[in-house]
Amino acid sequence: MVSVGTVVWLSSELMFFAGLFAMYFSLRAASSDLWAAETSKLNFPFALVNTIVLVASSFTCQMGVFAAERLQPRRSGGLFAFAKWGMVEWFILTFLMGTFFVAGQSTEYAMLVSEHVTLDANAYGSAFYITTGFHGLHVMGGLVAFLFIIGRAFAAKRFGHYEATSAIVTSYYWHFVDVVWIGLFLVIYVLR
């Protein structure tokens, strides 16, 4: 039931982001000259590295899910024996990668503000910050969920299917956030 509920909730989130995409495309269609001028200020290589880190975090998250499905909360070997890592180690790595992404977004915001691309500067600034900002909030929500799942793994007397299910549905959310970012990255940084 938890999985079904999570999928239904993510469907509503999908509609929310579809609305943001519609807003972005509507404003872009009405102000194509503005878009051409403002998108030239984006740092594509920086955003690409940030995107690669976020996409890679989906793989580390899934490795944590595989460990949770084996009911292995923590590593059973050395720190660098990745094949023996448990859910906690993979989720900590995913958390760090997600934190790197959020820090990268914050850095990009600072770079754009220094170039006078702000939320209230024009339609492009509004569309850029609203779409990427809401995505960033969703990433931070995922980071909080990872901390919660990691904490539960340490608090549980016995790591069982209940804890594993929580890890799995958290991965649904994280994968969703990653897929949304791929769409945003393509729309904002590639389709200039």
User: What is the rounded average pLDDT of the residues 164-177?
Assistant: 94
Given a cut of 90, whether residue 121 has pLDDT beyond it is: no
Band (83; pLDDT cuts 50, 70, 90): confident
Q: What share of the chain is helix, strand, coil (3-state, %, to 5)?
A: 80, 0, 20
Q: Which residue has the higher pLDDT, 112 or 82?
A: 112
**For residues 180 and 9, what is the distance between their CA atoms, to the nearest angstrom?**
15
Please tell me the pTM assigned to this model: 0.91
How is domain 2-190 classified at the CATH fold level? Four Helix Bundle (Hemerythrin (Met), subunit A) (1.20.120)
Separation in Å, CA 18 to CA 14, 97, 155: 6, 26, 38
Q: How sure is the predictor about 8, in pLDDT bands with cuts at 50, 70 and 90?
A: confident
Averaged pLDDT score across all residues of the chain: 92
Spatial distance between the Cα atoms of 94 and 114, rounded to a whole number of angstroms: 30
Q: What is the pLDDT of residue 191?
A: 86
Closest to 42 (Cα-Cα) out of 189, 190, 191, 186: 189
Question: In the chain, what are the domain boundaries?
Answer: 2-190
**Rounded distance between C-alpha atoms, residue 164 and residue 65, angstroms:** 8
> Token match 């729309």: residue?
187
pLDDT band at 82 (very low <50, low <70, confident <90, very high): confident
| Count of positions (residues) in the chain | 192
CA distance 84 to 148: 22
pLDDT digits (tens, 9 = 90+) for 14-69: 899 999 999 999 999 998 889 889 999 999 999 999 999 999 999 999 999 999 99
- 167: three-class secondary structure by DSSP: helix
**Is the confidence at residue 2, as pLDDT, over 80?**
no
Structure-derived torsion over alpha carbons of residues 28, 29, 31, 35, reported in degrees to the nearest 10: 40
Predicted pLDDT at 96: 98
Say yes or no to pLDDT of 152 above 80: yes
- Report which of 111, 140, 112 is spatially closest to residue 126, judged by C-alpha positions: 112
Token pair recorded at residue 75? 């590593």
